[in-house]
Amino acid sequence: MSGKRRPLRAAGFAGALVALLAGPAAPACAQHTLVGGVLSAAPVVAAAPSAARQRELLALLRDDCGACHGMRRTGGLGPALTPAALRDRPDDSLVATVLSGRPGTAMPPWRPFMSEADAVWLVARLKANPEGDHAPR
């Protein structure tokens, strides 16, 4: 051996590292890229659900989420889901909570009932809609 280390292929190594760290249950809310030798995460822009699916998600928000978070989303068994309460919470963390639930709490995983794109849309809607209306925009 000459004492020189053989350089790792950055893209292959970074991809393997991301897969290893992410694990199978991690939400794919960020797209990882190698920029100048540094691994960075950029949010993935998901396509908005159809108008019919938006109505279904809003009904789920009203009926199912509202049962614990309050019909006006001001809290109850679960915390408030108002824009003010969610303002400083990272979107990817909120999406992960929606999809995977919170172990040890009453928050169930909603992954069986919605896609990641649905959860991304729902989080954006919760953060941007102070009136709490239940109609698609």
Domains and CATH numbers, the chain: 10-43 (no CATH), 51-128 (1.10.760.10)
Q: Model's pTM, two decimal places?
A: 0.64
For range 66-88, the mean pLDDT: 94
Half-sphere exposure of 115 (CA within 13 A, CB side): 11
Closest CA to 44 of 123, 114, 110: 123
Position 52 confidence tier, pLDDT thresholds 50, 70, 90: very high
